[in-house]
C-alpha cells in the first residue's frame, strides 16, 4: 500500500494531487472541457516565445480515435482503451524568428513542449480528471496516420479520463495503481557543481 504523498517544503497541494492512473471509466469528454486543458497549455513559457507545442486529440468513439490508439504499444493499449481522449503532443523543431527570413532550429522545442504538457496535466487535475503520459507507441505509424510533417517531433501521447476501478486492470498493474513518490530533493538539486551520484 502506498504512503500519502508529502513534500519536503511547503508547496501548493495541486502538485501532490496530480498523478497518472491507468484505470479510467471510459466516459465521454466534451470538447469544451478538452479545450480548457489546451488553453492552460497555451500559456506555458517558451524560448523566444516561439510556442513550438502542438496537440492533436482524439475522443473515444470518434473516427479520430483508432489511428492514435492503434499506434500505442500492446501494453499501453491494454489500459488506455478506457481513456476518454488521447492527445498526441508535438513540438515544432524550426521557426522563422521575427525580423529573419530563414528558418532556424528551436533548440528548446522539447523542453518547451514539456512545459506545456505540465500546464495541461495540472489543469486536468484541477478539473477533476486525470492524465497519463505515454512513451510507448510507434512513432512512424503515428506520423503517417496523422500526417505529421518531419519538422515536428512527436514527443508523447497522453491518455485523459476520469479515474476508474483498478480491478479492471491486469493484476500486475493493479499493484501499481496509486500515487507514487519522488526521489528526495537532495538527489535532484545541487548548488554549483554536479555532485549527484550516478547509477
Per-residue buried b or exposed e for 47-79, using 16+ beta carbons within 10 Å of the residue's own CB: eeebbbbbbbbbbbeeeebebbbebbeeebeeb
172 in a domain, yes or no? yes
102 in a domain, yes or no? yes
The CATH number covering residue 85 comes to 3.40.109.10
Report DSSP state, residue 185. Answer: G
pLDDT in tens, the chain (199 residues): 567 899 999 999 999 999 999 999 999 999 999 999 999 999 999 999 999 999 999 999 999 999 999 999 999 999 999 999 999 999 999 999 998 999 999 999 999 999 999 999 999 999 999 999 999 999 999 999 999 999 999 999 999 999 999 999 988 899 999 999 999 999 999 999 999 877 6
Give which of 122, 159, 114 is closest to 37, Cα–Cα. Answer: 122
194 in a domain, yes or no? no
Question: Which triple of cell numbers denotes residue 185?
Answer: 530533493
Report field, pTM of the whole predicted structure over 0.85: yes
pLDDT at residue 2, as a whole number: 62
Residues 6+ apart with CB under 8 A from 88: 55, 56, 57, 68, 142, 146, 148, 154, 156, 157
Give which of 107, 92, 79, 71 is closest to 155, Cα–Cα. Answer: 92
119 in a domain, yes or no? yes
198 in a domain, yes or no? no
pLDDT at residue 170, as a whole number: 87
Q: Which DSSP helix (H) or strand (E) runs through 53?
A: strand 53-59
Q: Dihedrals φ, ψ of 196, to 5°?
A: -75, 150
160 in a domain, yes or no? yes
Number of domains in the chain: 1
Euclidean distance between CA atoms 69 and 83, whole angstroms: 10
pLDDT at residue 162, as a whole number: 98
Residues 6+ apart with CB under 8 A from 69: 58, 77, 80, 81, 86
Question: Which triple of cell numbers denotes residue 162?
Answer: 476520469
175 in a domain, yes or no? yes
Amino acid at each position: 500500500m502506498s504512503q500519502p504523498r508529502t513534500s519536503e517544503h511547503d508547496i501548493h497541494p495541486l502538485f501532490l494531487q496530480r498523478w497518472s492512473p491507468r484505470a479510467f471509466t471510459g466516459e465521454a469528454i466534451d470538447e469544451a472541457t478538452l479545450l480548457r486543458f489546451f488553453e492552460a497549455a497555451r500559456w506555458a513559457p517558451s524560448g523566444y516565445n516561439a510556442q513550438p507545442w502542438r496537440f492533436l486529440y482524439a475522443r473515444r468513439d470518434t473516427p479520430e480515435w483508432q489511428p492514435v490508439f492503434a499506434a500505442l504499444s500492446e501494453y499501453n493499449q491494454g489500459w488506455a482503451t478506457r481513456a476518454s481522449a488521447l492527445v498526441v503532443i508535438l513540438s515544432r523543431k524550426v521557426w522563422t524568428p521575427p525580423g529573419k527570413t530563414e528558418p532556424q532550429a528551436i533548440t528548446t522545442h522539447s523542453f518547451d513542449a514539456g512545459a506545456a504538457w505540465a500546464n495541461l496535466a495540472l489543469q486536468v487535475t484541477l478539473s477533476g480528471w486525470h492524465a497519463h503520459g505515454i512513451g510507448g507507441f510507434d512513432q512512424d505509424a503515428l506520423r503517417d496516420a496523422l500526417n505529421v510533417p518531419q519538422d515536428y517531433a512527436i514527443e508523447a501521447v497522453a491518455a485523459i479520463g476520469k479515474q476508474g476501478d483498478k480491478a479492471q486492470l491486469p493484476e500486475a498493474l493493479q499493484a501499481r495503481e496509486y500515487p507514487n513518490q519522488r526521489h528526495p530533493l537532495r538527489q535532484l538539486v545541487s548548488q554549483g557543481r554536479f555532485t549527484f551520484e550516478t547509477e
